[in-house]
Structure 1
Amino acid sequence: MGKLASIRRSVGLETEEEQNDSICPKMTYSQRLYGFVCCFVVGWCLTILSFSRFISLVQGNPIPFVVMYTLGNFLAILSSMFLAGPKRQWKKMTSDSRLGISICYVISMVGTIVVAFVPMDIGVSLPLLLVLIIVQFCCMIWYSLSYIPYGRATAKTCMKNMCGGGGGV
């Protein structure tokens, strides 16, 4: 494997042989990069803009917030398929280091949608939705940190230090 191919693989980009696995194998690298950026930005914009609907969630109409928030998270995850392709993305999501958080993330997204659409008392659905939204957010952060070298280790150290368990000077 050439040096350029090993560099591309180390940052999660596919080699020429792996392009057949991508969403659009005929797309150039630049086009797939644009696809990734656009999908990722739209996902994050939806997630952030969903908070303009937070009051409707609290008032008993969770669907506008939940749909925007969860769709934004879903698009952000799918964006990496432009670079890695569905097969490699699936392999990464189900690797030993990410399987648990991937399952938790998907369950929290599906659970958030289900709870929002199933008719139930606001006293039950609101606390449940808030927990699922927080879990979804935490899973997204932890999942994302798994792609940053030493991301999770650094986050653990920061949390220990913030909580007084860092054993500092």
Structure 2
Amino acid sequence: MWKFGSSLMSEREDDDLLGDEAGGLLSLSPLQRIYAFAAALVVGLILMFLSLLAFAKPIKFAIVFTLGNVLAVGSTAFLIGPGQQIRMMFDPVRVYASAIYIGCVVLALICALWIHNKLLTVLAIICEICALIWYSLSYIPFARRMASQLIVSCCDTEI
């Protein structure tokens, strides 16, 4: 039945599509979700660390770093589910941080794979790191406000 203002599918139907029902493709036990989260996070962090070995070649660095970065951020989808992860990313509190982060990831890959410009690739990676930090701070109450105040106080050059 259609009701004005209701979504096309109920949350239960949405969960069925994601495989949360027994026998679904994505049905994992709580312990399996924790293992998958830890594995994705560790692989992402290892890739980000190993990307430093390729720092002299910014294009390879950008690809490996960005893949590790996306794996590490996406690892939380195993704990809370991909639908909830996306809903949380686009909450009004963090919609801009999410959009900037995703834009920086895409920009870094474009600079590395399509433009092949080392300077632009490094600048895009720096923006990606800053966007990831700002996005991550959105999950900690008052962290972005404190970080903003810290940056302003450090940059204040009154003599």
Bin the TM-score by the shorter chain: 0.7 to 0.9
Correspondence for 1:80: 76
**Higher relative CO (CA 8 A, sep ≥ 6), structure 1 or 2?**
1
Rounded to whole Å, the distance in 1 between the matches of 2:120 and 2:87 is: 31
Corresponding residue to 2:105 among 86, 98, 109: 109
Report the TM-score when normalising by structure 2: 0.77
Rounded to whole Å, the distance in 2 between the matches of 1:37 and 1:157 is: 33
Correspondence for 1:142: 134
User: What residue ranges of structure 1 are gaps of 5+ in the alignment?
Assistant: 1-17
Which deviations, in whole Å up to 9, do the C-alpha atoms of 1:99-132 show, x marking residues without a partner? 1111111111112112212255xxxx12211211
Does the aligned pair in 2 maintain the 1:101–1:142 contact within 8 Å?
Answer: yes
Question: Map of 1:22-41 to 2, 5 A cutoff?
Answer: 26-41=27-42
- Change over 3 Å in CA distance of 1:94–1:119 after alignment to 2: closer
Report the TM-score when normalising by structure 1: 0.73
User: Alignment RMSD, CA only?
Assistant: 2.4
Q: Secondary structure at the match of 2:28?
A: coil
Identical aligned residues as a percent: 33
Corresponding residue to 1:164 among 108, 133, 156: 156
Rounded to whole Å, the distance in 2 between the matches of 1:146 and 1:74 is: 17
- Change over 3 Å in CA distance of 1:19–1:148 after alignment to 2: farther
Does the aligned pair in 1 maintain the 2:111–2:124 contact within 8 Å?
Answer: no
Which deviations, in whole Å up to 9, do the C-alpha atoms of 1:10-40 show, x marking residues without a partner? xxxxxxxx97657865322222122112211
Name the amino acid aligned to 2:82. P
Correspondence for 1:128: 120
Does the aligned pair in 2 maintain the 1:22–1:85 contact within 8 Å?
Answer: no
Which deviations, in whole Å up to 9, do the C-alpha atoms of 1:48-100 show, x marking residues without a partner? 2101101122xxxx1x2111110011101110100111111111111111111
Correspondence for 2:89: 93
- Change over 3 Å in CA distance of 1:85–1:163 after alignment to 2: same
Does the aligned pair in 1 maintain the 2:62–2:122 contact within 8 Å?
Answer: no
Deviation at 1:149, TM superposition (A): 2.4
Name the amino acid aligned to 1:112. A
Rounded to whole Å, the distance in 1 between the matches of 2:101 and 2:122 is: 15
Deviation at 1:162, TM superposition (A): 2.1
- Change over 3 Å in CA distance of 1:70–1:41 after alignment to 2: same
Q: Secondary structure at the match of 1:95?
A: coil
Q: Secondary structure at the match of 1:55?
A: coil
- Change over 3 Å in CA distance of 1:22–1:161 after alignment to 2: farther
